Each structure stands twice: as C-alpha cells, then as structure tokens.
Amino acid sequence: MTIAYCFVFLFVYVLSVGPMVGLHEVFELQEFQVALNVICAPLIALIETDIEPISSLLKWYIGLFR
C-alpha cells in the first residue's frame, strides 16, 4: 500500500508543475519564482538534461498552461 501512495504522490507532483507554471505566468511574483525553482528542481533538471521522452513530454505539458 505504501508503494501505491508513493506512485500517487509522484504522479500528482509531476502533474502539479503545469498549473504552477501557469500561475507564475499570470501573477509574476518574485517569491513564487523562487519557490517554484526549489519545488520543481528535479523536474527542471530532467528538462535541462534532455532525457527523452520525459523532457519532451514535460515541455509539452508545461506548454499547455502558458
């Protein structure tokens, strides 16, 4: 059961990055940018290292909220 919770948490974590970027685009708060960089650091690292197909899927998903 604990493994299922871990997968659900990771799934929700990855799906939350799109709306967070969308909120940042709307409000443009400096403090929110800092928090976004800290919270999403692992996903940012995946995008910057161009690990396919993960990086292209994340770029596409984030682009939906811009």
CA dist list (Å): 39 to 1, 2, 7, 20: 25, 22, 18, 10
Question: What residues make up the domain containing 57?
Answer: 2-63
Each residue of 5-48: pLDDT tens digit? Answer: 999 999 999 999 999 988 888 888 888 889 888 999 999 998 89
What's the pLDDT score for residue 38? 92
Total tally of structural domains belonging to the chain: 1
Q: Across the chain, how many H-helices and E-strands are there?
A: 4, 0
10: tokens are 């990771």
Measured distance CA(52)–CA(60) in Å, rounded: 12
| Type of residue numbered 45 | A
**pTM for this predicted structure:** 0.79
